[in-house]
Chains A and B, each alone.
Chain A
Amino acid sequence: MSASPFVRGIAAAQKRKVIVITFGGGARDQETFAPEGQENIPHMMKELIPQASFFTQVMNQGILGHYVATASLATGVYETLNNFSAVPPDHPTVFEYFRKDLKRPASDAWVVAPSNGFNRIGESDARSYGAGMGARVVLPKHLLTAAMSGSTTDYDHLLHDNYENPLSTPQLAGGEFELQQLEMILKLSVDDFKAHALTVSSPDELSMYIVRRLMQQESPSLLWITMHDIDIAHAGAYSLYVDAIRRTDRLCAELWKAVQSEPEYAGNTTMFILPDFGRDADEDAGGNGFQHHRTGDTASRTTWMMALGAGVKEGVVYDRPMQSIDLVPTLGAMMGFSAAQSQGLPVTELA
């Protein structure tokens, strides 16, 4: 005898998967979806956009540092924490809302992030949420550093923590995904991990490898990936910035293909792609063009968002303004949890 519609509804909700990719760190419209930038994102233009709802005006009114901005994306509140310290957000994260309201286990919410500073993004300091209620966080570069310890290879340049402040690495303060858990959770030996690292060209590619393993081994319902190769722009080399955008474009498309090929994800996954913010305009005298995101000008605050997959209208473009903090309440409406302390609004076109 088949289950009642009510039971089937609950089962469908429990199968619902959401993947969020921050297209980072920080890309301008003119190098992405503006006409002159579209050559840099062929995969999104040709493969993803036709399947997506696309929002052309996503405003970030908060602090334009990658950790604090990503934390704001994850809480739905413009956080004011120190961008260069590994500290938890002040407000509950989407992972805490998701797990608490839907009574999901720790294995159902994961973050893959680039640098030590993101180690605490999985759960907040907020009362009624916080410790033990958030997402597991994997820092692939941190794992690689541990895996390569004792090596004589000079890979400091590759593994430096971030591009915004390349001379400093925040200390980790507990809760990190340790090397031995590679084998326990991802079924990946340290040697295999190191061997794979030797085949990829960038930290984001390594992150994507970890994401694929997580999808296969844990199949989390809420998976958050923060990319950051693009932030090489801080070094001032335009060609490297554009190369990183092209790589990130390819990785996003590859992940979407992987979603279609994974039985746990195919057909029931909604994927969001959005930069955490833009970068300074060429014409703003207070900045140095693409290199930084320090002026707070329109180009650095305005970006875009793409949603595709389950429950999303295909091939629709929305030009109305929305805010980056609208993401969390939108996810809440889609997945069935309440983003109670978020200051954003659900995007009605998606929720």
Chain B
Amino acid sequence: MVPSDLKAEQFAGYPPEARKLAVAHLAALQQLPLSFAPSLLREVIDYDYKFPAECGAIDKELANLSSLTSSQMKEWFQAFSQFSLSEKLQSFDWINQPGQFVEQLSAYLWTTHQLDGFRKAATDYGDRLRSVTTPEPLPVRRLGIAVIGQGVSSYNSPLFRNLRKHGTYFDKVKPDDGLEQLLAGAAARAKTHPVPYGHWYVDGGQGVSHSQLLTYVSYQALEPVRASLLKNIHAEIERPGMGPEELRTHLARITPSELGMDQAGDAVLDRFQVRLFTEGSGTQIFSTTFAQWTAREALRRAQPLTLLVRFAPRQQQKPMNELLSASHNEAELDPIGSLVDADMCAYYHWINQQRLPGAEESSFLVWFEGHSQALAVSPSLPRGAQSSSTKDLGELLALAVS
């Protein structure tokens, strides 16, 4: 089966909006090479459960493809047409299982030493697509906030080392009510610029009181989901014939209701949260990893205008001798290790934010919770600088977005 043989009825298994979209752009899909089409369908098939920003991006990409003439289409996808694919891939049901196809394609490209070429073709395509699609102007400059170091009483090593060259380091911040001030700032932005899934609060532990205008994800609130998933995984890996690929396929199909989530909930957000656990690596074990991956995926997919991520202490990785000892108790927490993790996660938060439209105007603030150290990156603040001004977190936030 090759894309040129695609027919409208073959999308019967797609959810309604996805099916409508695929059929509307069938002529364009038919002209795509097999090395590319399933990657696009992987996005299309989940259209009904995607964030508005993702739907907008898919709409624009398909509209662009449909606007190309046949010769332009050949020229755009010439590089992708060069890759040789196995018969197994060609006979795969890539229409209904595009995600699994892409996984197998990736493995095949690695083994046939075609990955580097594919990587270049994909990067070139992404750059070209960006050059012909104009991003919508943002209603407000994007803002990222990372709150790290919860539960750490003192830490003497330098923080924010990766970010210092990009912003101003503040060493005399007034920490009182800092978290409340930051959440209030996020809520105020949500009220002034109401955008669906536009303003987020992610907590790696137990969340604190916050505005209902914020899209909220919490590691602790998802504990029943996490426990249910781990139970599901353990049951699956006991089954005969269950290997890594089969398990990934199984995980990709798990729905929120299978993990006990309320069917009356937010279908888009619930699926997003399930995928944090089924697609993320380490998110099921460490809360710091969960918070970082949530930030990454929220930025990549929902493209929020405001994203506040608060890291909590993760469980300790016990040394081998303690694990072997029969006397060990419940997992203890590792606040210092979590601070080091979160410091790096804050850097990744900023990097991922900088990949989005409006990066040159965006702001970022990271604060060592309960302490006087913070760093702000903003077009209005000098880079690689240090300030000893005594501001509280509300004032610092205002300065960062000014």
Contact = CB atoms under 8 A, between A and B. Distances in A.
A197 B321 contact: yes
Interface residues of A, number: 50
A325 B394 CA distance: 56
A316 to B, nearest CB: 31
A240 B324 CA distance: 19
B221 interface: no
B110 interface: yes
11 contacts: A84-B243, A153-B323, A236-B281, A237-B288, A239-B337, A239-B338, A283-B351, A288-B296, A291-B281, A296-B110, A297-B119
A173 interface: no
B344 A238 contact: yes
Contacts of B337: 237, 239-240, 243
B115 interface: yes
A167 B351 contact: no
A6 interface: no
Interface stretch (A202-210, A217-225, A263-271, A327-335): A202-210
A151 interface: yes
Interface string B336-348: 1110110111011
B216 to A, nearest CB: 22
Given A152-B326, A296-B116, A242 B340 contact: yes
B282 A235 contact: yes
A156 to B, nearest CB: 9
A235 B281 contact: yes
B321 A237 contact: no
A84 B244 contact: yes
A1 interface: no
Contacts of B319: 201-202
Given A155-B324, A199-B321, A237-B337, A282 B247 contact: no
A285 B126 CA distance: 11
A200 interface: yes
Contact of B282 (A237, A289, A297): A237
B77 interface: no
A321 interface: no
B294 to A, nearest CB: 11
A194 to B, nearest CB: 8
A150 to B, nearest CB: 12
Contact of A158 (B296, B314, B320, B338): B320
Interface in A135-177: 148, 151-155, 157-158, 165, 167-168
A152 B289 CA distance: 29
Contacts of A260: none
A205 B281 contact: no
Interface of A: 36, 61-64, 78, 80, 84, 148, 151-155, 157-158, 165, 167-168, 197-203, 205-206, 232, 234-240, 242-243, 282-283, 285-286, 288-292, 295-297
Contact of A200 (B317, B321, B336): B321
Contacts of B317: 232, 237, 240
B355 interface: yes
A84 B103 CA distance: 15
Contacts of B341: 236-240
A239 B340 contact: yes
Contact of B323 (A157, A236, A296): A157
Contact of A234 (B113, B281, B293, B338): B281
A157 B345 CA distance: 24
A167 B286 contact: no
Interface string B290-325: 001100100000000000000000100111110111
A326 to B, nearest CB: 18
Given A197-B321, A238-B340, 7 more contacts: A158-B320, A167-B247, A168-B237, A198-B321, A282-B347, A283-B351, A289-B351
B288 A168 contact: no
A288 B288 CA distance: 14
Contacts of A288: 293, 296, 348
Contacts of B247: 167-168
A295 B119 contact: yes
B140 interface: no
B86 interface: no
A165, A203, A205 interface centre (most CB from chain B within 10 Å): A165
Contacts of A84: 243-244
B115 A237 contact: no
B285 interface: yes
Contacts of B340: 238-239, 242
Interface in B64-116: 110-113, 115-116
A331 B95 CA distance: 49
Given A238-B341, A282-B351, A151 B320 contact: no
A157 B234 CA distance: 13
Nearest to B237: A167
A157 B282 CA distance: 13
A268 to B, nearest CB: 33
A243 B336 CA distance: 12
B150 interface: no
Contact of B289 (A198, A201, A235, A297): A235
B115 A201 contact: no
Contacts of B288: 236-237
A168 B321 CA distance: 23
Nearest to A244: B317
Nearest to A63: B110
B281 A78 contact: no
A288 B280 CA distance: 10
Given A63-B111, A236-B288, A291 B119 contact: no
A99 to B, nearest CB: 29
A197 B324 CA distance: 8
Contacts of B237: 167-168
Contacts of B252: none
B218 interface: no
